[in-house]
Amino acid sequence: MINRMLQRLSVLDQSPISEGSSGSETLHNTLDLARLADQRGFHRYWVAEHHGGPMLASPSPEVLIGPIASATTSIRVGSGGVMLPHYSPLKVAENFSMLAGLYPDRIDLGLGRAPGSDGHTMLALQRDRRQAAPDDFPQQLAELLGYFEDALPHGHPFARYSKWLPGRPQRPQAWMLGSSPQSAIWAAELGLPYAFADFINPSGAEIARNYQQTFQGSRHRDAPETAIGVWALAAETDEEALLLGTSARMSMTMLRQGRLLEVPTVERAVRFLESQGTPVDGSARGRRTIVGTPERVREGIEQAAAEYGAQEAIVVTITHDHAARRRSYELIAAAFGLGGAENLLPEGEGGREAAG
């Protein structure tokens, strides 16, 4: 246990494509980071779903999960998440049933409603483009869970497919993902664990509390389980961490302007931020970023988790340099005393004390 409330530390990898790199190299970096997370004692490793842009090589978490699980030994692996409106519930059930059968007790299925793209890309992902896809997420979600639980109502036209899922009797652990009140309502009503994206909406503590207070026990679990997704970046000094974080800050600024690009170098990002009159040591507008030395990052993660009453923090980090991203996760693991990583902290940062 890390502390009284925060019990687990995990990774969300959005597979960022660095300027001067390639999508292929990025995907291999994802495998490399997953192996590191497994070795350092992180609890789970989730991969994201984003479509139609040059910055993130992560359109298909279900494709990445198998190679990651194969390259690791004990860490849980899953989707953060599958954007269900794009897909047939049966197809998602079959995909994740196969993964659960191949890697028993290690596969998570994080489910989201957001498109992970702009409207034009969402249309390109549709099979039938004659009209917009219906907004029937609750029905999709109920059907998907019904396949895994063999609980579709009598007379449902697709009920028989529950018995033919290829990975039976294994099944993934389903999670509800979100950054708005509605996702918390669904998670509470269905008795699902809930992961809130604080790195998208840093004002979600009350949403998480409502989930916890209205949670209805189910065949999934008897009590609510809350995880918080946080954006964090650690380095040996505050100054270095702030500089490394400029790449992501420039990327997000450009994204808000509708100008998509690969993750820029620190040098380019610093020039850009200065040209905008933006302090290099500031935070991304409207977002919580936890940046600094390992101890400062640990304090920030624990504070965020306490606000949400979360038992788990899922850390997302974007840097231009893959080695810097690896080092950040190493330092965070050490600050929390995970998996024998306590000796990685530089002298004076208190790695051994942090494990207490």
Is a pLDDT exceeding 50 seen at residue 356?
A: no
What pLDDT does 113 receive? 92
As given in the structure block, the two tokens for residue 348 are 């004076």
Is a pLDDT exceeding 50 seen at residue 347?
A: no
The answer as to whether 282 is a domain residue is: no
The answer as to whether 269 is a domain residue is: no
The answer as to whether 323 is a domain residue is: yes
User: How much is the pTM?
Assistant: 0.91
Is a pLDDT exceeding 70 seen at residue 340?
A: no
Is a pLDDT exceeding 80 seen at residue 285?
A: no
What pLDDT does 267 receive? 97
The answer as to whether 253 is a domain residue is: no
The answer as to whether 23 is a domain residue is: yes
Q: Which of 20-29, 273-282, 340-349 has the lowest mean pLDDT?
A: 340-349
Q: What is the pLDDT of residues 107-147, one digit of tens each?
A: 999 999 987 567 777 778 777 777 777 788 999 999 999 99
Is a pLDDT exceeding 90 seen at residue 353?
A: no
Q: What is the pLDDT of residues 202-226, one digit of tens each?
A: 999 999 999 999 999 988 789 999 9
The answer as to whether 275 is a domain residue is: no
For residue 43, the 8-state DSSP code is: S
Q: What is the pLDDT of residues 223-274, one digit of tens each?
A: 999 999 999 999 999 999 999 999 999 998 898 888 889 999 999 999 999 9
As given in the structure block, the two tokens for residue 216 are 């209805």
Is a pLDDT exceeding 90 seen at residue 283?
A: no
Banded pLDDT at 355 (limits 50, 70, 90) = very low
Is a pLDDT exceeding 90 seen at residue 291?
A: yes
Banded pLDDT at 344 (limits 50, 70, 90) = very low
Residue with tokens 């793209």: 117
Sequence-distant contacts of 137-141: CB under 8 A, at least 24 apart:
137/84, 137/85, 137/113, 138/186, 140/84, 140/85, 140/89, 141/84, 141/89, 141/111, 141/186, 141/190
Task: Identify the CATH number of the domain in which residue 99 sits.
Answer: 3.20.20.30
Residues 6+ apart with CB under 8 A from 153: 146, 159
The answer as to whether 207 is a domain residue is: yes
User: How many CA atoms are closer than 13 Å to the CA of 128, on its beta-carbon side?
Assistant: 7
Is a pLDDT exceeding 50 seen at residue 157?
A: yes
User: 115: cis peptide before it, omega within 30°?
Assistant: no
What pLDDT does 220 receive? 77
What pLDDT does 277 receive? 83
The answer as to whether 202 is a domain residue is: yes
Phi, psi of 11 (to 5 degrees): -125, 135
What pLDDT does 116 receive? 59
Is a pLDDT exceeding 50 seen at residue 75?
A: yes
C-beta neighbour count of 108 within 10 angstroms: 25
Q: What is the pLDDT of residues 170-185, one digit of tens each?
A: 999 999 999 999 999 9
Q: What is the pLDDT of residues 48-73, one digit of tens each?
A: 999 989 999 999 999 999 999 999 99
Chain mean pLDDT for the chain: 91
What's the domain range around 92? 8-238+289-354
What pLDDT does 350 receive? 36
Buried b (16+ CB within 10 A) or exposed e, 260-269: eebbbbbebb
Is a pLDDT exceeding 70 seen at residue 46?
A: yes
High-pLDDT (> 70) share of the chain, %: 92
Give the helix ranges, DSSP H, for the chain: 23-40, 61-71, 89-102, 119-125, 137-149, 181-190, 205-214, 238-256, 266-275, 294-308, 322-335, 351-354
Residue with tokens 């697709």: 158
Provide the number of structural domains found in the chain.
1
